[in-house]
């Protein structure tokens, strides 16, 4: 999530910049892009990292790769004084280390913040405060950039606010625009030769549009009936194979519409994806995982009487890597692999009425996966038209 520049307060600070030069590196031609590595740490840790005035979504300690050139680095943490930024000219294939020391804020005021809808996450200077609206939160004096966020909605414009000692400043935000998320369903097999080109292409699309595209990968039983990712979720794969007519491998579905039956047929998919990402929507989905329970909330601006579909929840293994390719197409890395449907592959019938509705589901963690190795894809699909009207990825925190 990127935000605009904001002003930092001058404070007592400590920054140590150490340049370490790798030995044995191969010198590249001057016209080739050279990447440098920057390691940022702080005391205390878990500070939000800001590069060139933009929130990165990364937190200290972390290593970040950047193109060579002039870059400005800063950090923030809630209830700490913001240290001045430091600017470094990154050169060649080298590694830089930047250490920050933060001091607790000695003087504070208060921010009384509300929103429509409520229960939005409150961010101050790129940092998630841990509070949700409505709330009265303590905040260091001075100039701060404040905004609220809820997954599934477009963020409102952040506000620059001056906080005075012991004063309480009122702030109200409104989030009214749900964000369209697109569902990609990739049908593949470890011995499908065209899939060796299609699968990496689809994964690249998902990475490049991570905030707007949700990807689920299904494995079919042909040409290799021993595809391990088909066998480990046979019923779940078969359910989605039979959901659409005439499934082949490769096949890619964009919001329920079939595309990409061969490696060269990419233009129509990309054109449709770009158009889909521009679509407006009146529906937002977000969720929360607690222990073995998944809470899914659906917000609908207007009643959709014509919707005759269901809510589907896919539990997906994030990635799997083999030392030796499990099939004949040579691929060794696989992503977003279907492992289960919650509660079943039949989905859950719902009525899309105005306002919020929350559905709670129990799930079982696959025995071979840890909590950090899987996440969920949630989508609303019309069973008659096959159209997916909204989707969302929910991380297992």
pLDDT in the model for residue 5: 31
The average confidence (pLDDT) of the chain is 87
Angstrom distance (rounded) from CA 340 to CA 101:
45
Q: What is the dihedral of CA 221, 224, 228, 231, to 10 degrees?
A: 30
pLDDT in tens, 254-305: 999 998 666 567 888 888 898 888 888 889 999 999 889 999 999 888 777 6
pLDDT in tens, 134-186: 999 999 999 999 999 887 777 767 889 999 999 999 999 887 678 899 999 99
Task: Give the gyration radius of the chain's Cα atoms.
Answer: 24
Q: Are 215 and 307 in the same domain?
A: yes
pLDDT in the model for residue 353: 87
Q: Are 148 and 202 in the same domain?
A: no
Closest Cα to residue 313, out of 352, 342, 286, 336? 342
For range 89-98, the mean pLDDT: 88
pLDDT in the model for residue 305: 65
Q: Are 226 and 298 in the same domain?
A: yes
- β-pairing verdict for 121-124 and 127-132: antiparallel
Cα 54–chain centre separation: 17
For residue 258, is it within any domain? yes
pLDDT in tens, 274-287: 888 888 888 999 99
pLDDT in tens, 212-254: 999 999 999 999 999 999 999 999 999 999 999 889 899 999 9
Would you say residue 16 has pLDDT above 70?
no
pLDDT in the model for residue 31: 47
Angstrom distance (rounded) from CA 336 to CA 214:
9
Of 155, 174, 193, which residue constitutes the final position of a domain?
174
pLDDT in the model for residue 4: 28
The total of structural domains in the chain comes to 3
Q: Are 124 and 161 in the same domain?
A: yes
Q: Are 56 and 203 in the same domain?
A: no
Q: Are 224 and 360 in the same domain?
A: yes
- CATH number, domain with residue 91: 2.60.40
For 30, the 3-state DSSP assignment is: coil
Q: Are 219 and 350 in the same domain?
A: yes
Show the tokens assigned to 157: 């414009």
Would you say residue 17 has pLDDT above 70?
no
Closest Cα to residue 58, out of 43, 76, 72? 76
Angstrom distance (rounded) from CA 315 to CA 160:
40
Would you say residue 24 has pLDDT above 60?
no
Q: Can you give the residue range of the structural domain that contains 131?
A: 108-174
Q: Are 97 and 138 in the same domain?
A: no
| Helix or strand holding residue 207 (H, E) | helix 195-208
pLDDT in the model for residue 263: 59
């Amino acid at each position: 999530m990127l935000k605009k520049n904001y002003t930092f307060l001058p404070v007592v600070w400590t920054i140590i910049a150490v340049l370490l030069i790798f030995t044995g590196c191969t010198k590249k031609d001057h016209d080739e892009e050279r990447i440098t590595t920057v390691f940022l740490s702080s005391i205390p840790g878990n500070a939000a990292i800001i590069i060139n005035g933009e929130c990165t979504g990364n937190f200290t300690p972390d290593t970040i790769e950047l193109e060579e050139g002039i870059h400005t680095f800063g950090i923030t943490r809630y209830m700490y004084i913001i240290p001045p930024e430091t600017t470094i000219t990154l050169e060649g294939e080298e590694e830089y280390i930047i250490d920050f020391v933060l001091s607790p804020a000695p003087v504070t005021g208060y921010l009384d913040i509300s929103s429509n809808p409520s229960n939005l996450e409150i961010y101050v200077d790129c940092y998630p405060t841990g509070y949700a609206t409505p709330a009265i939160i303590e905040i260091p004096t001075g100039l701060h950039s404040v905004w609220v966020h809820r997954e599934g909605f477009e963020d409102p414009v952040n506000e620059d606010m001056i906080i005075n000692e012991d004063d309480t400043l009122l702030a109200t935000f409104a989030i009214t625009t749900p964000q369209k998320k697109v569902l990609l369903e990739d049908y593949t097999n470890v011995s499908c030769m065209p899939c060796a080109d299609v699968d990496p292409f689809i994964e690249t699309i998902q990475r490049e549009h991570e905030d707007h595209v949700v990807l689920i990968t299904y494995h079919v039983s042909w040409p290799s009936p021993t595809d391990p990712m088909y066998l480990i979720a046979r019923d779940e794969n078969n359910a989605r194979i039979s959901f659409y007519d005439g499934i082949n491998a490769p096949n890619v579905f964009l919001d329920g519409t079939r595309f990409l039956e061969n490696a060269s047929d990419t233009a129509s998919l990309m054109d449709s994806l770009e158009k889909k990402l521009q679509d407006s929507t009146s529906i937002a989905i977000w969720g929360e995982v607690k222990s073995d329970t998944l809470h899914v909330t659906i917000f609908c601006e207007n009643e959709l009487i014509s919707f005759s579909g269901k809510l589907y929840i896919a539990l997906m293994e994030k990635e799997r890597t083999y030392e030796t390719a499990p099939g004949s197409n040579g691929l060794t890395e696989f992503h977003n692999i279907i492992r289960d449907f919650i509660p079943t592959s039949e989905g859950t019938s719902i009525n899309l009425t105005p306002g919020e509705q929350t559905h709670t589901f129990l799930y079982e963690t696959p025995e071979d996966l840890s909590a950090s190795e899987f996440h969920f894809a949630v989508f609303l699909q019309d069973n008659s038209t096959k159209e997916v009207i909204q989707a969302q990825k929910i991380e297992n925190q």
